[in-house]
Amino acid sequence: MFKFFTHKKVTIKAPISGIVSELSEVPDDVFAQKIVGDGIAINPTDNTLYSPVKGKIVQIFPTLHALGIETEEGLEILIHLGVDTVELKGEGFTSFVEKDQQVDVGDKLIEIDWNSIKHKVPSIMTPILITNMDKVDKIEILKSGEIKAKEDLLSVTIERA
């Protein structure tokens, strides 16, 4: 019996304005070595995080430093706001969403007071990761350099049986 696979492309928008960087530039081995997943990072120049996809909030950490979104296609995206920001215990973060909430592209998720926290953490670089890489056939980076929130950032091709 043959199994036929179809491919579907999912566009991930920039969740925050800033400078696009490779994961290898994030000063944290878990992200730089793609241990949690593959993707891209943004060095933010803005304080508002928006939903990069249509989907559901499947995880939001009590410290608000990271959240997970699952797309309608089953792609799992983790957005981690800065490096070692878990240590801030929520300081500088204001959430506008909760677990299991449906979100649309561009919905406001979290506001971050980078000015009050950037001197307390190693970096404010924000990794945007695909954590279920077993579903991914290919990731294309659509923009480099400066990017504005809600612009196309990644195209992810997923395999579906």
What pLDDT does residue 6 have? 72
What pLDDT does residue 11 have? 97
pLDDT in tens, 75-133: 999 999 999 999 999 999 999 999 999 999 999 999 999 999 999 999 999 999 999 99
Sheet containing strand 93-95, edge to edge, reads: 48-50, 108-112, 93-95
Distance of CA 51 to the CA centre of its chain: 9
Task: Residue count of the chain, please give it.
Answer: 161
Place of tokens 């070692």: 84
Cα angle, residue 88 at apex, residues 24 and 33 outer, rounded to 5°: 15
pLDDT in tens, 51-67: 999 999 999 999 999 99
pTM strictly above 0.85: yes
Please state, in angstroms and rounded to a whole number, the distance separating the CA atoms of residues 111 and 96.
Answer: 8
Nearest to 151 by CA among 65, 67, 52: 52
Instruction: State the catalytic residues.
Output: 80
pLDDT in tens, 10-40: 999 999 999 999 999 999 999 999 999 999 9
Amino acid letter for position 6: T
Region for 90 from its dihedrals, namely left if φ exceeds 0, alpha if ψ lies in -120 to 50, beta otherwise: left
Domains delineated in the chain: 22-134 (2.70.70.10)
